[in-house]
Amino acid sequence: MTAVQKAADDPVLQIKGLCVALAGRGGKQLLRDVDIEVKAGEITCVVGESGSGKSLTAYSVMGLLDPESLRCTGGEIMIEGENVLTATPRRLRELRATSMSLIFQEPMTALNPVERIGDQIEEVLEIHCSDDARTRRRRILEMLEAVHLPDPKRIFDSYPHQLSGGQRQRVIICMALILNPKLLIADEPTTALDVSTQKQILALIRELQQKFNTAVLFITHDFGVVVDVADNVVVMNQGEVVEAGPRDTILRTPRNDYTRMLVSSVPSLVPRSRKSVTEDVVLSITGLSKTFVRRRLLRPTTVVEAAVDCDLTLHRSEILGIVGQSGSGKSTLARCIIGLETPSAGRIVLAGEELVNARGNAFRERFQRIQMVFQDPYRSLNPRVRVGESIIEGPTNFGVPRTVAMQRAKGLMELVDLPVSALDRFPHQFSGGQRQRISIARALMMEPEVLVADEAVSALDVSVQARILKLLESIRVETGVGLLFITHDLRVAAEICDRVIVMNKGRVVEHGSAEAVLVHPRDPYTRALIDAAPGRHWDFRNFRPL
């Protein structure tokens, strides 16, 4: 083997036996013996659920651990043969951007809002190389071009708020790659973006990585993304690497039980065929519109049409999915139905009775029949109130005696698979999945006819998500409640919904059975949405490509 070949085969990044613990004597170990290798021209995906230590690994490589609270207790991180952990702060600064760079998750906050894009990128060049101003500008414009931003000269002089989320992420990628680093670390770079933008950004990272022969350490929780970008996969759980190998090996024949469980928890994009629900209609909505009008002094009034002329019907014990990207109006529709927003026009009929938006008691009455589960289980429970008190709040508002309500709450705890003792504890003593179970129990306490779930599983890890979906399914069977399930995730919709409606820019663009919509979409928007879903060619449940 020649020296040149050997150099090419040497990994750019080599993490050996990395251990990180909370600072202080006997601090809890957060990372144990992590080994990861990334070679030039390869993308290695680190996957794991929240708390698995994947982001911590990325931050260790960049030397960004907060020494006040975290410390490295062992191992080494070699970048091209140089140990980052023992590097001086000065050397570390030199290495950043030239040898390694980082793309953050949140494109909204990673850029300085008061500085022009061009100036922010220029700062990197000013610090690390001796180019004159003309050359710097030329290099920046070239790089803006390379990340496919339209009209680089205009972008150069723009402020971050003038760009969309996807454009900002392109700017950050441009900034990260302008000095052609050997290693790029991407920490969930597409998690905050819509699927269609995500698809473009993933394609861009692939393209640039091949063009510059960069080694990429790609942190993600989404197996769909893994299928689309990874060469190698490292699966992490609770601070340890449980399995590592080439992508196809991990996805087809995972050896570790945890990996198997994780991969098979990812719902398929292809819905099972289901019998259509033939029960009575419980909720029907006709011509519902919601317009937000903002009147301002001396400035033109802004009008946002969040929902336009939406129709839908929901049967008893049916799960109807509402899918769409952010800003499509699906949440507004849900909030109008539950009554948190007053619709501008349209009729909402619940079991033959029109819901009015009168204030006072007539308005409160509806909540005995229609309930909601919120997106973020960390914010939808009052942290100062015991779980039991939170759960019985609804019934006691409508005159059910406390003891009767508590009795019902105990029964429901069993239904949502939590111990009865949970009632005496506070929300912070529970994990996200458990809190979402509590929220579901709280909604079911009212024995509603319709349950609105607004992105109820979006904030949860995939294995927890799978269990919550199972729970919702069993609740539908047991209680016959009609479920309105709002989600941006087509896989989740395919997994649980009988029928699906697709929304775009406030309008319903397609509706039908889950199979009809997701397998044979008619509307071009639906088709684009399905096409953009990451990993759509892989059947995770059966460990094989579709």
Partner 1 sequence: MSSLEESGPARYEDAAPPGAKAVLRAAVTSIPAWLAAAVMICVVAMAISAPLIATASPTAIAPAERLLGPTSTHFLGTDALGRDTFSRIVYGSRLSLTVGAGVTLFSVGIGLIIGVFAGYFRAFDMVVMRAMDGLMAIPGILLAIALIALTGASLTTVLVAITVPEIPRVVRLVRGVILNVRSEAFVEAAITLGSRTRRILWRHLIPSTVAPLTVQATFIFASAILTESTLSFLGAGLPSEIPSWGNMMADGRMYFQLKPGLVFFPGFALAMTLLSVNILGDVLRDRLDPKMEKRT
Binding footprint of partner 1 on the chain (CB under 8 A)? 22-28, 30, 49-52, 69, 237-238, 338-340, 364-365, 367-368, 371-372, 374-376, 379-385, 393-394, 397-398, 431-434, 439, 442, 446, 461, 463-464
Task: Give 257 or 279: the residue with its C-beta nearer to partner 1.
Answer: 257
Backbone angles phi, psi at 348, to 5 degrees: -120, 115
Task: Give 248 or 376: the residue with its C-beta nearer to partner 1.
Answer: 376
Task: Give 215 or 355: the residue with its C-beta nearer to partner 1.
Answer: 355
Residue for token pair 């969930």:
188
Q: How far is the CB of 380 from partner 1 (least distance, A)?
A: 4
Whether residue 313 contacts residue 284, with contact meaning beta carbons closer than 8 Å, is answered with yes
Task: Give 214 or 390: the residue with its C-beta nearer to partner 1.
Answer: 390
Q: How far is the CB of 418 from partner 1 (least distance, A)?
A: 10
Q: How far is the CB of 87 from partner 1 (least distance, A)?
A: 25
Q: How far is the CB of 429 from partner 1 (least distance, A)?
A: 11
Complete DSSP assignment for 99-117: TEEEE-S-TTTSS-TTS-H
Task: Give 50 or 162: the residue with its C-beta nearer to partner 1.
Answer: 50
Within 113-164, where are the H helices?
117-128, 133-146, 152-156
Q: How far is the CB of 88 from partner 1 (least distance, A)?
A: 24
Q: How far is the CB of 460 from partner 1 (least distance, A)?
A: 10
Segment holding 33, helix H or strand E: strand 29-39
Q: How far is the CB of 308 from partner 1 (least distance, A)?
A: 24
Whether residue 385 contacts residue 324, with contact meaning beta carbons closer than 8 Å, is answered with no
Task: Give 9 or 257: the residue with its C-beta nearer to partner 1.
Answer: 257
The alpha carbon of residue 427 and the mean position of all alpha carbons in its chain are separated, in whole angstroms, by 22
Rounded Cα distance, 180 and 62, in Å: 16
Backbone angles phi, psi at 288, to 5 degrees: -75, 130
Q: How far is the CB of 384 from partner 1 (least distance, A)?
A: 5
Task: Give 203 or 340: the residue with its C-beta nearer to partner 1.
Answer: 340
Q: How far is the CB of 489 from partner 1 (least distance, A)?
A: 19
Whether residue 77 contacts residue 35, with contact meaning beta carbons closer than 8 Å, is answered with no
Rounded Cα distance, 312 and 361, in Å: 27
Rounded Cα distance, 60 and 77, in Å: 8
Q: Do strands 29-39 and 183-187 pair parallel, antiparallel, or not at all (unpaired)?
A: unpaired
Q: Which two tokens stand for residue 473?
A: 């399914």
Q: How far is the CB of 301 from partner 1 (least distance, A)?
A: 19
Segment holding 7, helix H or strand E: helix 3-9
Q: Do strands 353-354 and 345-350 pair parallel, antiparallel, or not at all (unpaired)?
A: antiparallel
Rounded Cα distance, 366 and 462, in Å: 33
Task: Give 12 or 475: the residue with its C-beta nearer to partner 1.
Answer: 475
Q: Do strands 183-187 and 100-103 pair parallel, antiparallel, or not at all (unpaired)?
A: parallel
Whether residue 321 contacts residue 493, with contact meaning beta carbons closer than 8 Å, is answered with yes
Task: Give 150 or 383: the residue with its C-beta nearer to partner 1.
Answer: 383
Whether residue 171 contacts residue 143, with contact meaning beta carbons closer than 8 Å, is answered with no
Rounded Cα distance, 185 and 130, in Å: 25
Task: Give 232 or 331: the residue with its C-beta nearer to partner 1.
Answer: 331
